[in-house]
Amino acid sequence: MHPSFAPFVEPPYYVVIFTNQHAAPDDTDYHATGAEMEALAKTMPGYLGFESARGKDGFGFAISYWESEEAIKNWKRQADHLNAQRRGRSDWYEDYVVRVAKVERAYQMKRQTEATGDE
């Protein structure tokens, strides 16, 4: 599997879909904070994985996977993450939507093995 993918985990678990339109895609500060937040998220209880992509137009997703809703709430309240959220609202994003959802089914296709959902 390509390294951009989060590890495959059997449902059920939770996902936070952060859909956003970036105001300044080349902001160095933004990229540094993003990397810090990803490193910090990995240390949080219940963290399962992270994926992100952004197109040339600045529209993109940051998607994180969690064992439980409690783990998500805990991460949302984390102090450094609260600061990053504030910067996001004030400086980085034109618009965004956050969705919290419970993953009920999942399957995968890997080019090498054609396996589905049984990693």
Q: By the criterion CB under 8 A, which residues form the site for a copy of itself?
A: 1-2, 4-6, 8, 11, 15, 17, 19, 21, 23, 51, 53-57, 59-61, 63, 69, 89, 93-111
Nearest distance in Å: CB 31, a copy of itself = 13
28/43 with CB nearer a copy of itself = 28
Specify the amino acid at residue 37: M
- Beta carbons of 8 and 65 less than 8 angstroms apart: no
Nearest distance in Å: CB 58, a copy of itself = 9
39/109 with CB nearer a copy of itself = 109
Handedness of CA 54, 107, 44, 15 (dihedral sign): positive
Q: For the chain, what is the radius of gyration of the CA atoms?
A: 15
Measured CA to CA, the distance from residue 119 to residue 100 in angstroms comes to 25
How many C-beta atoms lie closer than 10 Å to residue 72's C-beta? 20
Nearest distance in Å: CB 18, a copy of itself = 11
**What does the block give as tokens for 3?**
């390294």
78/96 with CB nearer a copy of itself = 96
Q: Which residues pair with 114 in a beta bridge?
A: none
Nearest distance in Å: CB 8, a copy of itself = 7
